[in-house]
Structure 1
Amino acid sequence: MALDRAACRKLALDLLARREHSRLELQRKLGKRAFSRELIDETLDELEQSGALSERRFAESFVSARAAKGQGPVRIRSDLARRGVDVKHLDELLHDDEFDWCAIAREARAKRFGGGAPTGYAERVRQARFLQYRGFDMSQIDAALDIGDNSD
């Protein structure tokens, strides 16, 4: 039993050394190694108490990485929810001043379609669908698509 406890803790720490994980991700990965549910929960509780496992730190890291890849807050929120992160703290994190979602949407659009504003309705719709898939809301999409229209 002590060997199982040590092995479970070592594997969890090895996983956390590579990157931050949510509790649910670690539960799934440790569960695949045939550790008991009780042992996994005890180990993860200990890691949370020691600070080695932190949902907040995982969420911050995840949001920063996904924003850097040009993904929007809607998609990021959905991906974090699938990873078991409590959504009540996400609003604060996603509305942090560090992230200018309109600028991120403009950059994602420009990287995919070039710097100029879309010409024609069909092109505008196509680019809007792309940004929506990337996880931006309509106000952010409108800001990204109207990049050249504010020159009056």
Structure 2
Amino acid sequence: MAELRQHALACLARRDYSRAELRARLRPLAADDAAVDEVLDRLESERLLSDQRYASQRIAARAVRYGDTRLRQELRLRGLSDADIAAALPAAGDELERCRALWQKKFGSPAQTPAERAKQLRFLQYRGFSHTAISAVLRYGEEA
């Protein structure tokens, strides 16, 4: 059990992990899942492991480049609950403003052809921005 805790602390010293990620890293080292859960519960009670903190840090690091849909999906894949995601997502800021800033940085000018418009649309969709934000940004680009 002490070895599991030491390994967990070594992982957390490098970066924050979600509970599910850390469980996956510790599981091969443990004899049973109960020992892993006990270590994780203790780390949470000592506030060394926190899904809310992990979600906030992950969103802060990636919100400039990605939309709310992509951020939500990434956090779900890392085992975070919808409640933790919903609590952390407002810290990302306004999705429309982030989408507009990214579009301005990448393209800077409105599309001249339907093919260029489709390229801009696909880029923003891949980055996980909502249809509403993308439509507003592309309309804004045409009006500018």
Q: So what's the TM-score if we normalise by structure 2?
A: 0.90
Match of 2:98 among 104, 110, 113: 104
2:51–2:84 contact (8 Å) kept in structure 1: no
Please list, as runs of the form range in 1=range in 2, the aligned pairs for 1:1-152 lying within 5 A after superposition: 5-68=1-64, 70-96=65-91, 98-112=92-106, 114-151=107-144
What value does the CA root-mean-square deviation take over the aligned residues? 1.7
Cα contact 1:8–1:40 (8 A) shared by 2: yes
Change (3 A) 1:123 1:85: same
Greater shift in the superposed pair: 136-145 or 56-65: 136-145
SS of aligned partner of 2:142: coil
2:57 alignment partner AA: S
Q: How far, CA to CA, are the matches of 1:118 and 1:149 in structure 2?
A: 7
1:16-70 Cα shifts (integer Å, max 9, x gaps): 11111000000101113345211110000000011000000000001111113x0
Three-state SS of the structure 2 residue aligned to 1:115 is: coil
Task: Say if 1:81 and 1:149 are closer, same or farther in 2 by CA, change over 3 A.
Answer: same
Contact 1:23 1:55 in 2 (8 A): yes
Q: Which runs of 5+ in 2 are unaligned?
A: none
| TM-score normalised to structure 1 length | 0.86
Q: CA deviation at 1:91?
A: 2.5
For residues 54 and 32 of structure 1, the distance between their equivalents in structure 2, rounded to whole angstroms, comes to: 22
Give the length in aligned residue pairs: 144
- CA–CA distance in 2 between the matches of 1:35 and 1:28? 13
Q: Which runs of 4+ in 1 moved over 6 A?
A: none
SS of the aligned residue for 2:99 comes to helix
Distance, in Å, in 2 between the alignment partners of 1:21 and 1:137 is 27
Distance 2:100 2:29 in 1: 43
Structure 1 residues 141, 34: CA separation in 2 closer, same or farther (over 3 Å shift)? Answer: same
Please state which structure has a larger fraction of its residues in helix: 2
Q: Secondary structure at the match of 2:49?
A: coil
What is the distance in 2 between the residues matched to 1:109 and 1:46? 44
User: Is the contact between residue 55 and residue 75 of structure 2 (CA under 8 Å) also seen in structure 1?
Assistant: yes
- 3-state SS in 2 of match to 1:146: helix
CA distance in 1 between partners of 2:83 and 2:46 (Å)? 23
After TM superposition, give the deviation of residue 111 of structure 1 in Å.
3.1
